[in-house]
Structure 1
């Protein structure tokens, strides 16, 4: 305000000064004008006086005085014509000087004129012209002064205008300065104070204004900062208090919301006023039930009520501040459990109360009981326990340690366990043990140690490491048992699992493991070895004839002989039954292997003195070489097996080396098997029938059904080629069913049209009878469907069937015989012990093998053999059929010997069903 007032005063003073300046200039200009007019007036008056003499004219001196007064006023300042003027600017001094000279000259001229007038009463022309000239000159100088003053007045006005603008600018500048001062000293502090107040309104009391002025606003700002500081401190105290309360509440909530302890509060009336969820869960009540006038003593078993009530009263009545005790709590369902109580007295709403914690210690009780039992176990267990420090120094042992090792506690504690070391383990063993302990903290294994009495034993040791909280090792805990006898039993079991119990040779499992390791070694060292597959010839006959005891003795002797034929580095193993294998290492040449195999054949074929009998057998061997014949065990064994069968095919008691042709032959067999399956599906098989005639009449009474196979690409396939293959593959069962069905269909026709008592013989393979897929009931249903009596079907079996029979085959044969189907024993006399089995089944026919008949003549030894067979069969009530009759002589000899039936090319070769029908027609067998 002072600044504005000063500014206004300055403006007024300035304007007044400018006005005075303008007045002075105006007065000066006015006075200069008067002087100009006065100069003309003096001249005019002088002229007028000359023209009008006697007139009332002022005195010249008065005019001169006025002009001089005016000039003096202009020059020095003063009053003239009532006008107060200031001295003119020094700028006009030259002009005034000129005016003064002109004035003086004018005065001179005029004075002369006046004198003339007064003297002569007339002026001359020259004087008039002089006056006019002097007047003009004075007027000109007066005009010049006036013009200069006017011009100066204009300049002053222009300067006044610029001065006004400058003054206006100064006013604006001063006002801006005033505005900024107001902004700085008033508005900004007010705004800052306002902003601070706004922040404080929303709760921000940490804000402070920065006003440092000492005026009223500064004092207000200081007071406001102090107020904010006090409020902030107050709020901080409140927040701290609230935080503490919240923290306490959170701590209480965290404690109350735990899943372990039940938290409760008991009022002075001994009723629950608070219970957490865990307490409700533990007691089986809801929280609402517990806080609804629930008496505290109801939480406990009745027998604990007196103790609990006394403990509560002690705290409520001030005799005890806190307590801790164990008691028994009661569940809502009536069950009880052990608890531990922690209780503290407190004030609640001005009344004494108790806050406490109830912990279910049933598990802890059980743990303590378990620990007590563990301590008992530690003291009484049969498993030895030893505790050592990180360096292996013994800290403690249990009694079982003393029992096993013989060392008492005072003899072993403080010493290292190497006192019981057996010395059988090297440094690497113990290094591996300690490395495992460092890496995983545990180690387990068998270790040989020595008892105090010097006896060596095997212990199964398990070491566990106990760690401190910082990860360092606290101790090692060793648990061990004496497993000496166990390992001995395991060794026996391992030997039983890997060695044949009968021959004490490595068994199939041991052989396979040895074969794999031998292959791996040979591959790594680029070595060659031989695998020999051995199969005993005629062993089954010995076993079936003399019994299994004699067969077992034979196998033991074979094993002994095989071991004597090979080197100590070679392996002899029994795969099972009468199959053996040899792994011959370090093969330098094939001749070395052949030499060993010849030795094997020679030794095996020597007579065997069994317990009660002397027998002879032989062996067939197949040889393969690694890696030429195979690079894995399965391939080598398969190829050795093929070579062994090749040796058998060559006549047995031989050895054969595998070659690729054997594999090709096996492949050929697989292709034949595939074609066999297709042939059965495409009905490529047909039946031929060979008549069986009655010896006495020569008439056809029976026929044997014989299968034939016409393969589109192979042509007629020999039954001897595909029947064994069908037996091996199991296809003999569906093939046999087809033969049976086809033969019975034809039999039904012949019995209906030609001969009602005609019968057909069907060969049944042992594989069929041994198979669970053979459905004898289906055969019987087929006979019933075709109305064929069961005795019209004769089942022909071989002596091999009698030798290999088992429960399944016996049941199948009995089922057929029980239904009335007759049984014929084919190829009789070729078996090893056929006579011992004649009583096993109810045999209806014996068929003398063609090997006894084909060379039969009057001088042949076979005559007596055939006669003996026929007599024996008749004595047993069995009829005889002779196979392979090819001559009249053979027919006559057999007829004379009493043979019942004959079969052979002399009567008729196998023919088709159509040809058989023609033969029956020729014999007039129509019904």
Structure 2
């Protein structure tokens, strides 16, 4: 390829010229295509003008007939426009400001047909205009003639336009193919350029780069194979020659160093050891060589020792005389070599014992000494340690015994005799099984000897017998001593008497694993047994059941009769539970009134259900305590391994969920875990999250249900009721979120918000309508039991609003009276002392309601809606309601009836003397604005 440039500069110029030619060719081709497209567009435009003129002329002709003298363009000017446009299309030229070339020869016949139709149309129009001066109405035949000529001209114009459009589409299609051909031609030329550059420039550069990399790494045998004649080819040749020259030089150097390296290797092999330090001493008693190990031993840098380091600084002054004498004897030829022990001195001044070996040699024509220095301080300490070990062996309180490989006693120490009672002459020569207590079976000793053979040692507790027959526990450790050939030489046993220690540990272990009250396994031992049960069931592919038990009404018994009676009740429950299960099963107390059963080897669920029924029946029977007889029940949740959980945490959590489901169904029953329970728990967690967000985003609002005076029917009070409009859930039922708020503690901040909102609202109503209007606010037991409730802050808020505390009624349930403690009682007393009224809600549904009325000064009793909703003249609820009202009035307590829904119910309660009514018959819960309208209406009516 002689035309190919030989230099990189020319190759670059050729590449630039190629790219420039491609760019110019693309631009020129694109310009031609654009011009052709513009010309076709103008031609189509003019054809459209002709079609428009054919209709316009006919229209104006009819217009002239119908409205003579109108301002219509002269027919001659229209003729001229048509002829000008036709001429431009046929021969090329300008019309309507558009310059076009003659139409394609293929379109000329259509153009000629158009012109023939035009002439016919023109003759028809001229005839029509010739008759026009007579002002006679245009004849029907003339109209048809003009319309036929116009339609024919329109058809020919449309034909021409359609052919022009087809022609334009073909031209555009050809342009598209030309563009694609040009594009692929550009791609091919660029690929060709890339392959030429890659083969002539990039590949040679890569070859040269690889060669340089290999040479930098020490590979001088590599050669490049570049065959081109440009600068890269010349550079490759130079690199090949350089690599060959360097390779030869390295071979020569390697041969010269080989002999020296062999000698040096032998010396270095001796000097580079980690046991002894190698040195050479000159006739001037100075070091002229020191190995790295010697420098490490003495603590000096090696360069310092090899710089004529004086011998006197290596040894202790007390030993230097002996060292100097021995060195001189070798330098003077009196002895050839010597070996002795001495004391060396490190750089930091510390001393250590050494063993010195030295021999005389010829070095550079003079006598010198080469030798080794070995640190023997460790060996000396070992010898001293062995002496001390003999003392320890004789005087330690830990018993030691040495036996042969067959267990025959070879030696004992005094502590062995003190612990076992056997003297040396009574035990040496006998096997140690003389101490055996018989507690351990053959499998125990087989495992011990197996560990000794495979691991070389064994450690553990073992029961043995003293000489006097007394049993004791020893903590024994056996170690194997081996000969140089790996055979067992001796067994060495060390043991101590741990009898009292193990007894104390047993007591501590029981205290840590058993409940002190019921003597049942506690939570820790339950967890250990649960893990063992899971592992055993997984290994044997068995099923076991986990039953979670929670006593019903235990707190009431504990609070009513005291903790001593509660403890006795728990002990009896534990005994009854143990009587319901097999000895292989587990009964444990987790804490409080929570128990759990692990029932092994479950053959069928029916077996477990039978056990649960037995537990429910037995627990529900009366308990005779020290001073009382009580009745309780139990709620149980059942899970099965592995279908309800693969680990202990999941099983216990699912059993707990099932237990709560049993409580929700009415207590004194059991429930088997179902995955839907976990879904419900998840739903509760999500609602709890939304509840927290709702507090933060103020999604809550208060509704108010009027409370009317029975005698007058006027609204004198109202009850504030919380509502939650959640963006996703919509209106959430209070029965769904209030219990969750109580469980999570969110009821405290929610209650704070309710109180502040209610206080502000009652302030507005008292100012606008009646200064005696009162608003009830429900207070949860959780609020009053919480340490976060600040009653003084409530009272300050009331004072700031300038209303009396009696404007608010605090509604509590009988549950509050049951669960209250000293702190909650003090809060209620503080609010009552300030003037806040107290109402007892849901009266008649609680536990021993009447016994709690005397604890506080109750202002109102609210008859529960369950007594009112079915109230009619013949119902038993009439007597109950009358009794509650009479009892309350005798205690100077006013009565509010909840759930009044009919006129009859209102009349019955009014006749019974009920003070106030609340229910849908009067008004359902409404917004503050709606209640304001009701109050306004009542004021206007009065």
Structures share a fold, TM > 0.5? yes
- Within the candidate set 634, 638, 642, 1:620 is matched to 634
Matches within 5 A, 1:419-434: 419-434=434-449
Question: SS state of the match for residue 300, structure 1?
Answer: coil
1:268-295 deviation digits (Å, cap 9, x = unpaired):
4443343333333333434444354543
Structure 1 residues 348, 723: CA separation in 2 closer, same or farther (over 3 Å shift)? Answer: same
Q: C-alpha displacement at 1:577, in angstroms?
A: 1.4
Question: SS state of the match for residue 517, structure 2?
Answer: coil
1:96-134 deviation digits (Å, cap 9, x = unpaired):
xxxxxxxxxxxxxxxxxxxxxxxxxxxxxxxxxxxxxxx
How far, CA to CA, are the matches of 1:525 and 1:487 in structure 2? Answer: 33
Q: C-alpha displacement at 1:917, in angstroms?
A: 1.6
Question: Does structure 1 residue 480 correspond to structure 2 residue 479?
Answer: no
Determine the structure 2 residue equivalent to 1:724.
739
Residues 703 and 927 of structure 2 are in contact (CA less than 8 Å); yes or no, is this contact kept in structure 1?
yes
Q: C-alpha displacement at 1:336, in angstroms?
A: 0.8
Scaled by the length of structure 1, the TM-score of the pair is 0.56
Determine the structure 1 residue equivalent to 2:568.
553
- Which structure has the larger Rg? 1
Q: C-alpha displacement at 1:779, in angstroms?
A: 9.3
Determine the structure 2 residue equivalent to 1:912.
927
Determine the structure 2 residue equivalent to 1:464.
479
1:445-469 deviation digits (Å, cap 9, x = unpaired):
3333222222223333333333333
How far, CA to CA, are the matches of 1:455 and 1:495 in structure 2? Answer: 25
How far, CA to CA, are the matches of 1:627 and 1:249 in structure 2? Answer: 74
1:86-105 deviation digits (Å, cap 9, x = unpaired):
xxxxxxxxxxxxxxxxxxxx
Residues 267 and 352 of structure 1 are in contact (CA less than 8 Å); yes or no, is this contact kept in structure 2?
yes
RMSD: 5.8
Question: Does structure 1 residue 449 correspond to structure 2 residue 464?
Answer: yes
- Within the candidate set 358, 363, 368, 1:344 is matched to 358
Scaled by the length of structure 2, the TM-score of the pair is 0.55
Residues 622 and 655 of structure 1 are in contact (CA less than 8 Å); yes or no, is this contact kept in structure 2?
yes
Determine the structure 2 residue equivalent to 1:412.
427
Q: C-alpha displacement at 1:505, in angstroms?
A: 1.5
Residues 885 and 895 of structure 2 are in contact (CA less than 8 Å); yes or no, is this contact kept in structure 1?
no
Q: C-alpha displacement at 1:416, in angstroms?
A: 1.9
Matches within 5 A, 1:32-47: none
1:533-577 deviation digits (Å, cap 9, x = unpaired):
432222112323444344223211222233345555554332321
Structure 1 residues 631, 272: CA separation in 2 closer, same or farther (over 3 Å shift)? Answer: closer
Residues 534 and 579 of structure 1 are in contact (CA less than 8 Å); yes or no, is this contact kept in structure 2?
yes
Greater shift, 638-647 or 295-304, is seen at: 638-647
Q: C-alpha displacement at 1:504, in angstroms?
A: 0.9
Question: SS state of the match for residue 471, structure 1?
Answer: coil
Determine the structure 1 residue equivalent to 2:192.
none
Q: C-alpha displacement at 1:374, in angstroms?
A: 4.2
1:556-609 deviation digits (Å, cap 9, x = unpaired):
122223334555555433232112244567889999877766665565455545
Residues 337 and 360 of structure 2 are in contact (CA less than 8 Å); yes or no, is this contact kept in structure 1?
no
1:732-765 deviation digits (Å, cap 9, x = unpaired):
5786577567657756765776678977554454
Structure 1 residues 528, 672: CA separation in 2 closer, same or farther (over 3 Å shift)? Answer: closer
Residues 536 and 617 of structure 1 are in contact (CA less than 8 Å); yes or no, is this contact kept in structure 2?
no
Q: C-alpha displacement at 1:503, in angstroms?
A: 0.4
Q: C-alpha displacement at 1:532, in angstroms?
A: 5.0
Residues 569 and 623 of structure 2 are in contact (CA less than 8 Å); yes or no, is this contact kept in structure 1?
yes
Structure 1 residues 539, 269: CA separation in 2 closer, same or farther (over 3 Å shift)? Answer: same
How far, CA to CA, are the matches of 2:799 and 2:885 in structure 1? Answer: 44
Determine the structure 1 residue equivalent to 2:270.
255
Residues 548 and 595 of structure 2 are in contact (CA less than 8 Å); yes or no, is this contact kept in structure 1?
yes
How far, CA to CA, are the matches of 2:357 and 2:609 in structure 1? Answer: 97
Structure 1 residues 635, 341: CA separation in 2 closer, same or farther (over 3 Å shift)? Answer: closer
Structure 1 residues 794, 552: CA separation in 2 closer, same or farther (over 3 Å shift)? Answer: same
Q: C-alpha displacement at 1:919, in angstroms?
A: 4.2
Question: Does structure 1 residue 655 correspond to structure 2 residue 661?
Answer: no
- Within the candidate set 534, 545, 552, 1:537 is matched to 552
How far, CA to CA, are the matches of 1:916 and 1:317 in structure 2? Answer: 129
1:157-208 deviation digits (Å, cap 9, x = unpaired):
xxxxxxxxxxxxxxxxxxxxxxxxxxxxxxxxxxxxxxxxxxxxxxxxxxxx
Determine the structure 2 residue equivalent to 1:276.
291
- Within the candidate set 579, 585, 602, 2:594 is matched to 579
Residues 763 and 797 of structure 1 are in contact (CA less than 8 Å); yes or no, is this contact kept in structure 2?
yes
Count of residue pairs brought into register by the alignment: 659
1:701-747 deviation digits (Å, cap 9, x = unpaired):
76442124679999976533443245446675786577567657756
Structure 1 residues 478, 764: CA separation in 2 closer, same or farther (over 3 Å shift)? Answer: farther
How far, CA to CA, are the matches of 2:423 and 2:850 in structure 1? Answer: 74
Question: SS state of the match for residue 571, structure 2?
Answer: helix
Structure 1 residues 646, 631: CA separation in 2 closer, same or farther (over 3 Å shift)? Answer: closer
- Within the candidate set 418, 426, 430, 1:403 is matched to 418
Structure 1 residues 537, 856: CA separation in 2 closer, same or farther (over 3 Å shift)? Answer: farther
Residues 406 and 451 of structure 1 are in contact (CA less than 8 Å); yes or no, is this contact kept in structure 2?
yes
How far, CA to CA, are the matches of 1:327 and 1:693 in structure 2? Answer: 116
How far, CA to CA, are the matches of 2:767 and 2:395 in structure 1? Answer: 92
Matches within 5 A, 1:200-219: none
Structure 1 residues 551, 846: CA separation in 2 closer, same or farther (over 3 Å shift)? Answer: farther
How far, CA to CA, are the matches of 2:352 and 2:395 in structure 1? Answer: 29
Question: SS state of the match for residue 720, structure 1?
Answer: helix
How far, CA to CA, are the matches of 1:399 and 1:729 in structure 2? Answer: 68
Q: C-alpha displacement at 1:340, in angstroms?
A: 1.0
Q: C-alpha displacement at 1:342, in angstroms?
A: 0.9
How far, CA to CA, are the matches of 2:812 and 2:386 in structure 1? Answer: 76
Question: SS state of the match for residue 439, structure 1?
Answer: helix
How far, CA to CA, are the matches of 2:375 and 2:586 in structure 1? Answer: 69
Structure 1 residues 385, 845: CA separation in 2 closer, same or farther (over 3 Å shift)? Answer: farther
Give 5+ residue unaligned stretches, structure 2. 1-257, 869-876, 901-905
Determine the structure 2 residue equivalent to 1:216.
none
Give 5+ residue unaligned stretches, structure 1. 1-241, 872-879, 896-900
Structure 1 residues 860, 736: CA separation in 2 closer, same or farther (over 3 Å shift)? Answer: closer
How far, CA to CA, are the matches of 1:303 and 1:817 in structure 2? Answer: 97
Matches within 5 A, 1:710-749: 719-728=734-743, 739=754, 743=758, 746=761
Question: Does structure 1 residue 438 correspond to structure 2 residue 453?
Answer: yes
Determine the structure 1 residue equivalent to 2:212.
none
How far, CA to CA, are the matches of 2:673 and 2:306 in structure 1? Answer: 97
How far, CA to CA, are the matches of 2:837 and 2:544 in structure 1? Answer: 52
Structure 1 residues 589, 326: CA separation in 2 closer, same or farther (over 3 Å shift)? Answer: closer
How far, CA to CA, are the matches of 2:402 and 2:700 in structure 1? Answer: 83
Structure 1 residues 645, 281: CA separation in 2 closer, same or farther (over 3 Å shift)? Answer: closer
Determine the structure 1 residue equivalent to 2:176.
none
1:205-262 deviation digits (Å, cap 9, x = unpaired):
xxxxxxxxxxxxxxxxxxxxxxxxxxxxxxxxxxxxx99x998865554333333433
Structure 1 residues 267, 672: CA separation in 2 closer, same or farther (over 3 Å shift)? Answer: closer
Residues 256 and 276 of structure 1 are in contact (CA less than 8 Å); yes or no, is this contact kept in structure 2?
yes
